[in-house]
Amino acid sequence: MSAPAIPVPEIDQAPPSTRVAATDEAPGASRGGWFVRIAILVIVLLWLIPTAGVLVTSFRPENLVNSSGWWTALVHPFRAAEWTLENYRLALDRGGLGNAFLNSLAVTIPSTVIPITIAAFAAYAFSWMEFKGRYVLFVVVVGLMVVPIQMTLIPLLRLFANGATIGRLIVFPDLDLNGSFMGIWLAHAGFGLPLAIYLLRSYIGSLPSSIIESAKIDGADHFTIFWRLVVPLSVPALAAFAIFQFLWVWNDLLVAYVFLGGTRQTMVLPIALAGLVGERGETWHLLTAAAFISMVLPLIVFFSLQKYFVRGLTAGAVKG
């Protein structure tokens, strides 16, 4: 009943029945054995080649990068002159990637944590508290999931720069948020909230009501139930959204470009990459090292927490 948009898959967790059929020489498996394996191998290789190209190029000296294709390096993989770490030193230092990496952390972590906390409280209220307009408000949240961010940028930039007033009443103070971390955290929190509330509600709403009821009978108030009971039980859903939001914010170019801008002090990794392409489009040794630096953390997060990530993605198939 927690059923999100689509059944929640988990990589490498096929139902037992499928497993048995697969090992038992299912008729299909034996008939298409070679064809299946070769087709899979071809697609996987095709999918890996682009990343492999970046990885290999980033470790080759500049002159070799520019005179021969990266695949030629694979012919002499053990020749020391073929490889170097210089590109990474250059990218981190002169390319400003080191600074951008720290900025990305400073943007991403709060932008992930703040919406989770706010959404968890809201999801609890939508699931287990009674108030007027609960259903209608939640349908609105579902609708907000696909609003294109482009639709919000102009008013938000103005709001951040000038504040807002109705008559003489200050509705939103002039905080000069443009170019500050605070501004982008709030923006990412706002853009991430609909999905977060949706995901967490479908999980928190599916917790057995007997648990909540018995806690109430024992005299626990909503706040205690939420904090002591619901949050610990919801760790999988919280993790799923955390990974999703982390990857989304880390890889985001649009919001960072508009709210943080491209100055060297505040630029995040995708901005730094875009800047390098613009300034030095053909310096492949630098570009590939920079690209790989930006991929390291998400790839680690991805491979170590893949199961949760898949869960978040599939449940949020409707995110905008």
Partner 1 sequence: MSASAGSGETATLTAPPSKPRAAGVFILRLLVAVAIPVIAFAVLWRSFDYMRDENANRLLVVGVAIVVGVGGVFFLYWAMNRIVDLMPERYREGVRPYVFVGPALVILGVFLVYPVINTLLISFKDSQGESFVGLDNFKFVFTDESMLRAIRNTLGWTLVVPIVAVSIGLAFATLANRLRRGEAVAKSLIFMPMAISFAGAAITWRLIYDFRPAGFGSNIGLLNAAWQGLGNQPVAWLQAAPWNNLLLMVIMVWMQTGFAMVVLSAAIKAIPDEIVEAARIDGASELQVFRRIIVPSILPTIVVVTTYMVINALKVFDIVFVIGGAETNKTEVIAERMIRWFFILNNSGRGAAIAVVLFIAIVPIMVWNMKRFREQEMIR
Q: Give the shortest CB-255-to-partner 1 separation in angstroms.
A: 11
From the list 223, 228, 236, 280, which residue makes contact with partner 1 (rule: CB under 8 A)? 223
**158-197 footprint of partner 1 as x/- string (CB under 8 A):** xx------------x--x----xxx--xxx-xxx-xx--x
Site string for partner 1, 9-48 (x = CB under 8 A): xxxx-xx-xx--xxx--xxxx-xx---xx-xx--xx--xx
Shortest distance in whole angstroms from residue 100 CB to partner 1: 10
Q: Which is nearer to partner 1, 86 or 251 (CB)?
A: 251
Does residue 291 touch partner 1 according to CB under 8 A? yes
Interacting span for partner 1 (CB under 8 A) from 75-83, 89-97, 114-122, 234-242: 114-122
d(CA 142, CA 140): 5
Q: What is the DSSP letter of 72?
A: G
Cα-Cα end-to-end distance for the chain: 24
| Residue 204: alpha-carbon gap to chain centroid | 22
Q: Of these, 74, 206, 228, 280, which contacts partner 1 (CB under 8 A)?
A: 206
Count of CB atoms within 10 A of residue 155's CB? 10
In the complex, least distance from residue 77 CB atom to partner 1, rounded to whole angstroms = 18
Smallest distance from partner 1 to CB 280, Å: 11
Is 61 a binder of partner 1 (CB under 8 A)? no
119 forms part of the interface with partner 1 (CB under 8 A)? yes
Site size with partner 1, rule: CB under 8 A: 152
